[in-house]
Amino acid sequence: MRHLIDPTDLSLQEIDEILDLAEDIIQHREKYAEACKGKKLATLFYEPSTRTRLSFEAAMLELGGSVLGFSSADASSAAKGESVADTARTVSKYADIIAMRHPKEGAPLVASQHVNIPVINAGDGGHNHPTQTLTDLLTIKQTKGRLNNLTVGFCGDLKFGRTVHSLIKQLSCYENIRFILISPQELQVPDYIKEETLLKKNIPFEEVTEMEPVIGQLDILYMTRVQRERFFNEADYIRLKDTYILNLAKLANAKPDLKILHPLPRVNEIATEVDSDPRAVYFDQVEYGKFVRMALMLKLLGLENNTK
Ligand code: CP
């Protein structure tokens, strides 16, 4: 039984296979139209989501399967005090695969320990968001043509941004990657990511507080939202929320082939005038998320060869 709880649950080879499969799905969608016929995905979302939940559901529907689930804890028996383990055990009687988002770190891991169907972590607290990482990797591969030899800038809330933590870990597995980490002092990448990934693997990185002096060095600029829901103090959120607002003026010195990613939702951190710049790929990224989740579910269900 395979689950995806942490990005490191997949080997580099498996990740490359998932990305290759997603690219084959993009090229030959009709081949996969019935690959999950008769299968059911349960989306158990204890925390709000637009892209992740709906892309999982769209992915299963495009594979010919069905979906069930809930989109908030209040709409489930969690509101009556049911544990994650009991809910997962119950849902495993109705579905073939689970995608779970939960505000508590480790909740999808707990679910995976109580069921005999694959569980996919669709975001747990400030910890990990491995399917966003797969989405980001596919977006970079599709738009830059490679996953190595890149200078990658992460900008914004690098402390609470779980997509940042997952992507740093994963990109660190590819050759000749360098990171520029742009954030206020209070929102720097946590020490454990630096110690366990960057320093341990000797990955070059620098931490800066301003975007403009470094933007010209970047191949990828990964913007993030300041995560209001993870702050203990509203005053700190208000002070920090608009630290970086990417606009066309700030892109003046950026490379012409820079790619701008954002896991979305956006609040203020990218001006809408940037949306029509060819370097902005964050809405393409949304669609790549659906394709990569199709590929992931096929792999976890062992159905990748169940094609027309
Ligand atoms: N990127 C992402 O996780 O978006 P949602 O919160 O809308 O799922």
For the chain, the domains span 7-128+287-300, 131-285
Averaged pLDDT score across all residues of the chain? 95
Topology of domain 7-128+287-300, CATH = Rossmann fold (3.40.50)
How far is Cα 197 from Cα 301, in angstroms, rounded to an integer? Answer: 30
What is the reported pLDDT for 73? 95
What is the reported pLDDT for 69? 98
Instruction: Report the residue count for the chain.
Output: 308
Topology of domain 131-285, CATH = Rossmann fold (3.40.50)
**293 assigned to active site:** no
- Among 52, 261, 267, 284, name the best residue to mutate to test ligand 1's pocket (greatest count of ligand atoms within 8 A of Cβ): 52
Single-letter amino acid code for the residue at 44: L
**8 assigned to active site:** no
- Among 45, 46, 50, name the best residue to mutate to test ligand 1's pocket (greatest count of ligand atoms within 8 A of Cβ): 50
- 236: confidence class by pLDDT, cuts 50, 70, 90: confident
Catalytic annotation, pick one of 2, 51, 194, 250:
51
Lowest mean pLDDT among 39-53, 178-192, 213-227, 237-251: 237-251
What is the reported pLDDT for 38? 98
- 293: confidence class by pLDDT, cuts 50, 70, 90: very high
How many whole angstroms from 52 Cα to the centroid of ligand 1?
5
**169 assigned to active site:** no
What is the reported pLDDT for 46? 97
Catalytic annotation, pick one of 39, 53, 129, 169:
129
Cβ neighbours of residue 179 closer than 8 Å, sequence gap 6 or more: 151, 152, 153, 154, 168, 171, 198, 203, 204, 205, 206
CA atoms within 13 A on the CB side of 247: 7
* Section 211-225 average pLDDT: 97
With 70 as the cut, is the pLDDT of residue 231 above it? Answer: no
CB burial string 161-183: b at 16+ within 10 A, e below: bbbbbbbbbbbbbbeebbbbbbb
What is the reported pLDDT for 232? 65
What is the reported pLDDT for 229? 66
How many whole angstroms from 182 Cα to the centroid of ligand 1?
22
**127 assigned to active site:** no
In the chain, the percentage of residues whose pLDDT exceeds 90 is: 86
**51 assigned to active site:** yes
How far is Cα 238 from Cα 226, in angstroms, rounded to an integer? Answer: 10
Closest CA to 126 of 230, 205, 27: 230
* Section 117-138 average pLDDT: 93
Task: Ligand 1: list residues with CB < 6 Å.
Answer: 49-52, 123, 132, 263-265
Measured by CA distance, the residue closest to atom 6 of ligand 1 is 49
With 70 as the cut, is the pLDDT of residue 230 above it? Answer: no
Lowest mean pLDDT among 98-102, 134-138, 159-163, 267-271: 159-163
3-state secondary structure of 223: strand
How many whole angstroms from 285 Cα to the centroid of ligand 1?
11
How many whole angstroms from 202 Cα to the centroid of ligand 1?
31
How far is Cα 290 from Cα 162, in angstroms, rounded to an integer? Answer: 19
With 90 as the cut, is the pLDDT of residue 308 above it? Answer: no
Q: Radius of gyration (Cα) for the chain, nearest Å?
A: 19
Domains 7-128+287-300 and 131-285 share a fold: yes
Closest CA to 96 of 72, 121, 118, 74: 118
- 235: confidence class by pLDDT, cuts 50, 70, 90: confident
Lowest mean pLDDT among 109-118, 134-143, 223-232: 223-232
